[in-house]
Amino acid sequence: MPHINLLAWREASRKEAQKQFLSILLLVVILSFGSMFALSMFYSALKDGQNVRNNFLTSEIALLDQRIKDIRELDKRKASLQQRMRLIEELQSNRNLGTQIMDEVALIVPSGVYLTSLERRDRALQIVGKSESHNRVSAMLRKLEESYLFEDAVMQVIEAGDQELRLLNDFNLRFRVKPFEEISEAQK
């Protein structure tokens, strides 16, 4: 049998397989790097687009913050003007308040009740007087409670008169003038 040397053929086949393996490996590496680069570029483009949107939103938020600041400043001006208007209205209504108080007291005091003094301190009023009976003073208290101008009526003292005038009872009554807002609403 002749000797056939297959060693050279095996070695050539091995070298060919190794070349194929290296070229496939190189192709896989190139495809991997290419796909990674493409994905990186894709996500970079998405990130850049999101950054552009974020910058736009930030600039719009800053613009809206400035508008909100302007609106708050306008609200402060409006509140200041409204406060001034309320003060002017209150001053206008208080201009006639003394006359209104006297008119209302004249309507409230029934016959048989005589006032000896009427004293006003800010919104508080104190009446000192004489009455023919307790019922007349009670009627006056009920009218005070129903009044559009007065509130918080409190009877402090009611007692029999001195020796000479036993028929008349002395009384002391306190009440308050309602705040301007309540008076103006009651008159509407």
pLDDT one-digit tens code per residue, 45-97: 999 999 999 999 999 999 999 999 999 999 999 999 999 998 888 787 777 77
Average pLDDT on 174-182 reads: 80
Of the candidate CATH numbers 3.30.1360.100, 3.40.190.10, 1.10.40.30, 3.40.50.11750, the domain formed by 109-187 belongs to 3.30.1360.100
Residue 158, H or E segment: strand 150-160
pTM of full prediction above 0.85: no
Segments making up each domain of the chain, as ranges = 9-97, 109-187
Express each pLDDT in 1-13 by its tens digit: 566 666 777 888 8
Q: What is the mean pLDDT of the segment spanning 24-31?
A: 96
Dist. CA 149–CA 70, nearest whole Å: 41
List helix spans (H) across the chain.
7-95, 97-108, 134-146, 180-187
Q: Report pLDDT digits (tens) over 112-148.
A: 888 899 898 888 899 999 888 888 888 888 998 888 8
What pLDDT, on the 0 to 100 scale, is given for residue 20? 95
